[in-house]
Amino acid sequence: MSTPITDEALLAEVRAWLAQHWDRATMQAPCGVLRSPERRAFLEKVLAAGYAVPTWSPEWQGRGLPAEQGRLIERAFAEAGAPGAGQDRINLWANTALAHATPSFKAHIVPALLTEAVGMCLLYSEPGAGSDLAAIRTRADRQGDHFVVNGQKVWTTNGHTADYGMLIARTDWDVPKHRGISFFFLPMKQPGVEVRPLRQVTDEAHFNEVFITDAIAPAENLLGPLNGGWGVLQTALAYERSVMGEGARGPRSGLANPQGDTAMVALAREAGRLADPVIRQDIARVTAYRVLNRLNTARAKADLAQGTSSPIMSLGKLAMSRILHEEARLRTALLGPESLLEGPEHPRAEDANFLTLNAYFTSIGGGTDQIQRNIISERVLGLPREPEVDRDVPFREVRSGTAPRKAG
């Protein structure tokens, strides 16, 4: 066992490493480009140094450090403006694969995920199975050393650029809905996978609908046991909700800072309304929500072991949704009639309107606010479950569960 390193020595080591390998002035611009060669080269160095996943074991290029020292490394990277650290907390793809993939597939995919050598998307929701993911009808039929997949997915972020999609598909129609689902890494760039963009209310097209016709998922790409995909999904959702609960996308202009506790104070001062007692009370409420949410998220992550899930993550995800809506409302109130303007020549109004519309992404993605409330009430507070008349019925017998055509 290696000798433990002190916090001071670790910080000095990381800062010295960054001073040698990271030049913010020359590398930050290309590193902002999705999966650029410069970014990948730097991420490979971060992984080799053990800073990408410092709490993981050395077998997976971690350093076996405690969570507190992992956060020290993250903070040092954040101070330098460098990417790549803290993926043992926030990389839902790599964490899910590490916990559930086969040894051979894990050895191939995990390093690629940590260095952004592959792009990823989520293939969960369907037109008839959004809030109730267990009602999915996309099917995967075993044929020798692979599965043939048929179905449709929707709200797939980055599906047009992804190399793999984390897919849930039904592999057994004769058991209750939660017990007949399997979890795959589906190769996206193959015949039979058609990706169509969906235009969003923010006038962007990050989401897609995906049509899958006789696509191939190698058996090696199965995560967890056959028909045991619901448990794998809970791991993936826990990491997704953790990320969404900890932060959210900022404004398009880059001028506003919705993440900072002082952002609302600055905007109120600019609007000449900082002395307004009602505005001050609203700012204090939003700031308190953010501080409390950070503490709750830290609590949840301290309890989250590799490969597990935690219902506490739903608290943070729901809280962040409410925070974003409240901040958007407050921004609009502070701007007054100016909030009716739009376009790059009116950046404050443009930011307020974008953040207002984009707040609904957090209210829906990763499980709706209503689903999070159900999870919190049942699994955190211990209240009675909502009635589910189809929970113990073989899915083939559920009215909405009529099996689509078989492959071939």
Q: What is the pLDDT along the chain (408 residues), one digit of tens a residue?
A: 467 899 999 999 999 999 999 987 766 544 444 567 888 999 999 999 999 999 999 999 999 999 899 999 999 999 999 999 999 988 999 999 999 999 999 999 999 999 999 999 999 999 988 778 899 999 999 999 999 999 999 989 899 999 999 999 999 999 999 999 999 999 999 999 999 998 777 667 678 999 999 999 999 999 999 999 999 999 998 888 777 666 655 555 555 444 455 778 888 888 888 899 999 999 998 888 888 887 877 776 666 655 556 677 788 788 888 888 888 888 888 888 888 888 888 888 888 888 888 788 778 777 788 888 888 888 888 899 888 888 889 999 887 645 555 544
Q: Are residues 79 and 124 in the same domain?
A: no
The confidence score (pLDDT) of residue 249 equals 57
Total domain count for the chain? 3
The confidence score (pLDDT) of residue 259 equals 46
Q: Are residues 141 and 190 in the same domain?
A: yes
Q: Are residues 33 and 130 in the same domain?
A: no
Instruction: With respect to residue 76, please indicate whether it lies within any of the assigned structural domains.
Output: yes
Find the helix or strand (DSSP H, E) in which 403 lies: none
Transcribe 278-333 into DSSP letters: HHHHHHHHHHHHHHHHHHHHHHHHHH--TT---THHHHHHHHHHHHHHHHHHHHHH
- DSSP letter for 162, please: -
Tokens 């953790």 — which residue?
A: 242
| Domain end among 74, 90, 106 | 90
- Could you tell me which residues come within 8 angstroms of residue 231 by beta carbon, excluding any fewer than 6 positions away? 224
**HSE-up of residue 305 (Cα within 13 Å, Cβ side):** 1
Q: Are residues 183 and 263 in the same domain?
A: no
pTM: 0.79
Q: Are residues 358 and 252 in the same domain?
A: yes
Helices (H), 82-228: 87-90, 92-100, 103-114
The confidence score (pLDDT) of residue 213 equals 98
Under a CB-based contact definition with an 8 Å cutoff, are residues 188 and 134 in contact?
A: no
Instruction: With respect to residue 267, please indicate whether it lies within any of the assigned structural domains.
Output: yes
The confidence score (pLDDT) of residue 247 equals 60
Instruction: With respect to residue 28, please indicate whether it lies within any of the assigned structural domains.
Output: yes
Q: Are residues 251 and 343 in the same domain?
A: yes
Q: Are residues 124 and 221 in the same domain?
A: yes
Transcribe 4-51 into DSSP letters: PPPHHHHHHHHHHHHHHH--HHHHHHHHTSTT-HHHHHHHHHHHHHT-
Q: Are residues 257 and 288 in the same domain?
A: yes
Q: What residues make up the domain containing 321?
A: 247-367
* Phi-psi map region of 189: left, alpha, beta (phi>0 left; psi -120 to 50 alpha): beta
Under a CB-based contact definition with an 8 Å cutoff, are residues 359 and 138 in contact?
A: no
Q: Are residues 219 and 276 in the same domain?
A: no
The span from the CA of 123 to the CA of 64, in Å, is: 32
Instruction: With respect to residue 400, please indicate whether it lies within any of the assigned structural domains.
Output: no
The span from the CA of 101 to the CA of 246, in Å, is: 26
Instruction: With respect to residue 389, please indicate whether it lies within any of the assigned structural domains.
Output: no
Q: Are residues 196 and 253 in the same domain?
A: no
Q: Are residues 275 and 217 in the same domain?
A: no
Give Cα separations from 357 to 66, 105, 216, 288, 329 (angstroms). 39, 39, 37, 23, 11
Of 153, 155, 176, 166, whose CA–CA distance to 217 is shortest?
166
Q: Are residues 254 and 309 in the same domain?
A: yes
Instruction: With respect to residue 328, please indicate whether it lies within any of the assigned structural domains.
Output: yes
The span from the CA of 73 to the CA of 52, in Å, is: 9
Amino acid at 71: R
